[in-house]
Structure 1
């Protein structure tokens, strides 16, 4: 299983959070449903405690200049991601969420029609902390959206593969703690 869109909509919408519904917002800082106000977006799904539940990712459209210099559209022609809340805090909010399954993201440069498909399938674990920061540990693949204004990373759409560790601060800034291979989607479609 490869490239997986996990992340947090650390922006105003989960990019990698829309991740199951891949494009939703991130839990504490990463997750698919719940913006974390930042310049970065990681996509990841939300779910219920207990067993595995299916995550649904929705299409995303980024205006020119917000992620790439051109308008970028992201669709998910193949989905099968599941999530499972492994542990929760006393208030019921997730502490550890595991993800697994197939996911293909199709990125389109709206101006030129150029497209690429990236395999975001695999597995990963999201740790949400009480201070609203989070940590993604992904042995497989991960889709990462960085919006304009992030002070630590150039804006863009990236696919991290072959293992990565990404942290998201309570205010939404991301830090890539470990990575192997990176695909710059914006450059590939320019």
Structure 2
């Protein structure tokens, strides 16, 4: 079955993001269930050949990502969450020192399945890493921008279904 994010779904996601108040209680450290909360993105390093042909580091230089848990399973684990906020990553070729920035500030509605798989419904750019033969894009660090769905298997193989948008391998920017 092919996914098509309708304008109506995109409007719903945008309306939820706009209508739900920000983390007013976050300053005190008390985050009520169903409230926006920070969702910091961890930096990481990968060896040569894992995503790019060279060793690479990805680290956030702007990270205002927050999440809203929309529903949970009976055990309290998230079933559906919404992520949004500015995220700018610095991508560094660890062999040459070349750097580039990547805007990954998209909005994602994430559905988690009990088997460890998940589906993201995305508007805007996100940074996704692909291993060799492990998804619908070749090996690389990809900025995927537009409206699309990403299906993750429990082993993190990824299949992207684009409604419209672009893909760009950030590895080429620091090669």
Smaller-chain TM-score range?
Answer: 0.7 to 0.9
Once the two structures are TM-superposed, the CA of residue 55 in structure 1 deviates from its matched residue by: 1.5
- In the alignment, the residues of structure 1 paired with residue 154 and residue 63 of structure 2 have an alpha-carbon distance, to the nearest angstrom, of 29
- Number of aligned positions between the proteins: 144
**What is the CA deviation profile of residues 3-56 of structure 1, one whole-angstrom value per residue up to 9, with x for unaligned ones?**
xxxxxxxxxxxxxxxxxxxxxxxxxxxxxxxxxxxxxxxxxxxx9842011012
Out of 159, 166, 171, the residue aligned to residue 186 of structure 1 is: 171
Structural mapping, 1:128-143, within 5 Å: 128-143=112-127
Structural mapping, 1:1-190, within 5 Å: 49-148=33-132, 150=134, 152-178=136-162, 180-190=165-175
Native 8 Å contact 2:72 2:80 kept in 1: yes
TM-score by length of 1: 0.70
Once the two structures are TM-superposed, the CA of residue 75 in structure 1 deviates from its matched residue by: 1.1
Answer with 1 or 2: which has the greater Rg. 2
**What is the CA deviation profile of residues 82-137 of structure 1, one whole-angstrom value per residue up to 9, with x for unaligned ones?**
00110011111111100111110110111121111111113111111123221001
Give ranges in structure 1 of 5+ residues lacking alignment: 1-46
Once the two structures are TM-superposed, the CA of residue 173 in structure 1 deviates from its matched residue by: 1.7
Give ranges in structure 2 of 5+ residues lacking alignment: 1-30
CA separation of 1:140/1:154 partners in 2, compared to 1, >3 Å: closer, same or farther? same
**Higher relative contact order at CA 8 Å, sep ≥6: structure 1 or structure 2?**
1
CA separation of 1:49/1:145 partners in 2, compared to 1, >3 Å: closer, same or farther? farther
- In the alignment, the residues of structure 2 paired with residue 57 and residue 171 of structure 1 have an alpha-carbon distance, to the nearest angstrom, of 20
